[in-house]
């Protein structure tokens, strides 16, 4: 299914510079440079009592509003923070007009290497705040959900998008989830992000929730926004990545007033089929011989058949035991995710409603504008097949406004794929990915300041 930065600053450069810095927010724009490869960074430095705090965007990576710890000693400044799964540090010196020094990073996002680069930031004279945030709560029946509305400065009414979640226990603080909200809010579109059921400050339990219930949460979020005077009730859409690619069209089928649907890495197949696609690709990436992958996947599909129908229990259990006996000592076997007998069919209603959702039937009901995007090399979702399925049913349903885009050399989350043998580069989103989101949205809504 992929840059503002919390920055810290100086104390002890020119006295006038330091006192001004503590009196008001300052803004800095620039880049990191490693062997001529640039990585754009944008930083706000804000006073907090006698100290400073910072917020940063790493725009090429799609990471926005990251908070970083700041320390200082005279003209010297150090910023440290977590960027996805990596620790990053800016260590530099400050003048009235620039901050420059050395950027270092180490972690999974940088191929587990220590990366060092030069950075330079120049003062920006822009002083207008981009966005404001507001904590909100809304309900779906007895379940209360907690979220944050990130919106442009001004009375509005603003167009808006409710972002749905990817899989797992995601909160509104999940970096990629929050990043997309800040992206669109900086371009005039309010965004609501919220803690998934049973996570953070939201009630319920995501582990026993169907995709339809998650979609209902999104639909109720749309209704909650529609009641606000600062939101344009006729221009509220839904969007999401990965699992959100199932949830968002479901929400649009539930809530007739959804104005648009925007998805990335959306599977055109059932979650059960998508699991098999993902596991097969994982085994191949681990170098498992093709004949062994085929045998393991055949066993998985025989189990899926039993899970759906309850038929051939004994035969399937025997195949599972035989596979375990043959492959149990292989280092990759755990990744095959084969269950242990005794088996039970998938008779829990919520499990069946989750695993067997047919995306084609859902997308066939979507009549509002659609933007759907994939990474060509997605190892979790079959990009081309999903594009064909979703595009086909939208065309058959007569939807007049459909934009479908596959980004080359990109994976799940539409980040650029960087193989072990590829030349080093910064972690990046596919070129044009976030630009397409902004251009597509702003062409279909009324930004308040344009009215």
> What would the pLDDT profile of 35-60 be if each residue is shown by its tens digit?
999 999 999 988 777 778 889 999 99
The residue behind tokens 């989750």 is 354
Do the two domains 4-124 and 131-270+357-450 of this chain adopt the same fold?
no
CA distance 354 to 44: 42
CATH topology of domain 131-270+357-450: Rossmann fold (3.40.50)
- CA 333-336-339 angle, to 5 degrees, is 100
CA atoms within 13 A on the CB side of 365: 15
Tokens of 129: 């705040």
Instruction: Spell out the long-range contacts of 33-37 with Cβ–Cβ below 8 A and sequence spacing 24 or more.
Output: 33/117, 33/118, 33/119, 33/120, 34/115, 34/116, 34/117, 34/118, 34/424, 34/426, 35/424, 37/424, 37/425, 37/426
Task: Using the Cα atoms of residue 96, residue 98, residue 101 and residue 106 in order, give the sign of their dihedral.
Answer: positive
More confident residue, 26 or 223: 223
Share in percent of the chain as helix, strand, coil (round to 5) = 35, 30, 35
More confident residue, 376 or 20: 376
CA distance 52 to 48: 5
311-362 tens-digit pLDDT: 999 999 999 999 999 999 999 999 999 998 898 887 777 788 889 999 999 9
CATH topology of domain 4-124: Lipocalin (2.40.128)
Taking the domains of the chain in order of start, what are their residue ranges? 4-124, 131-270+357-450, 271-353
Which of 71-80, 86-95, 305-314 has the weakest average pLDDT? 71-80
> Residues near 291 by Cβ (< 8 Å), separated by ≥ 6?
none
More confident residue, 242 or 175: 242
Alpha-carbon distances, residue 34 vs 63, 94, 424, 426 (angstroms): 19, 20, 10, 9
Over residues 71-82, mean pLDDT: 87
Mean pLDDT of the chain: 90
CB atoms near residue 350 (< 10 Å)? 14
| Among candidate residues 237, 3, 21, the one with its CA nearest the CA of residue 123 | 21
Phi and psi angles of residue 292, each rounded to the nearest 5 degrees, phi first: -70, -40
At residue 449, the pLDDT reads: 63
What order do you get walking across the sheet with 402-407 strand by strand?
A: 131-140, 143-152, 190-194, 158-163, 231-241, 261-264, 370-375, 402-407
Contact 81, 69 (CB under 8 A): yes
Contact 181, 125 (CB under 8 A): no
Which residues sit opposite 53 in a β-bridge?
Answer: 46
The answer on pLDDT for 139 being more than 60 is: yes
Tokens of 293: 């992958």
At residue 18, the pLDDT reads: 43
């Amino acid at each position: 299914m992929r840059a503002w930065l919390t920055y810290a600053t100086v104390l002890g450069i020119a006295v006038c510079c330091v006192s001004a810095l503590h009196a008001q927010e300052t803004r800095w724009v620039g880049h990191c440079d490693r062997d001529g490869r640039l990585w754009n960074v944008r930083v706000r430095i804000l006073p907090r009592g006698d100290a400073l705090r910072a917020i940063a965007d790493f725009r090429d990576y799609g990471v926005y509003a990251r908070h970083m710890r700041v320390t200082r000693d005279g003209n010297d400044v150090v910023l440290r923070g977590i960027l996805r799964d990596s620790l990053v540090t800016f260590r530099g010196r400050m003048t009235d007009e620039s901050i420059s020094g050395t950027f270092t990073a180490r972690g999974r996002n940088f191929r587990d290497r220590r990366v060092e680069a030069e950075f330079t930031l120049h003062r920006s004279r822009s002083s207008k705040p981009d966005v404001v945030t507001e904590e909100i709560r809304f309900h779906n029946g007895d379940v209360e959900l907690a979220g944050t509305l990130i919106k442009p400065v001004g009375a509005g009414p603003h167009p808006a998008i409710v972002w749905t979640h990817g899989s797992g226990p995601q909160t509104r603080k999940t970096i990629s989830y929050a990043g997309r909200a800040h992206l669109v809010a900086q371009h005039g579109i309010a965004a609501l992000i919220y803690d998934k059921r049973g996570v953070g400050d939201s009630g319920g339990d995501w582990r026993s929730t169907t995709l339809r219930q998650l979609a209902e949460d999104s639909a109720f979020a749309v209704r909650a926004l529609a009641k606000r005077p600062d939101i344009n009730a006729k221009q509220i859409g839904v969007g999401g990545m990965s699992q959100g690619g199932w949830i968002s069209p479901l929400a649009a089928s539930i809530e007739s007033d959804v104005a648009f649907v925007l998805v990335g890495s959306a599977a055109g197949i059932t979650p059960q089929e998508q699991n098999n696609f993902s596991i097969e690709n994982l085994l191949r990436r681990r170098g498992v011989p093709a004949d062994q992958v085929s045998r393991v996947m055949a066993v998985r599909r025989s189990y899926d058949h039993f899970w759906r129908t309850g038929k051939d229990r004994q035969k399937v259990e025997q195949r599972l035991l035989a596979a375990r006996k043959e492959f149990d000592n292989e280092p990759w076997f755990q990744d095959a995710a084969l269950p242990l007998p005794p088996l039970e069919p998938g008779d829990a209603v919520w499990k069946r409603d989750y695993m067997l959702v047919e995306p084609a039937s859902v997308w066939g009901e979507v009549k509002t504008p659609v933007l759907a995007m994939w990474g060509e090399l997605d190892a979790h979702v079959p990009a081309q097949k999903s594009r064909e399925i979703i595009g086909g049913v939208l065309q058959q349903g007569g939807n007049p406004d459909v934009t479908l885009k596959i980004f080359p050399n990109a994976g799940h989350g539409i980040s650029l794929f960087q193989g072990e043998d590829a030349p080093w580069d910064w972690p990046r989103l596919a070129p044009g990915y976030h630009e397409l989101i902004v251009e597509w949205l702003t062409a279909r809504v009324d930004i308040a300041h344009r009215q």
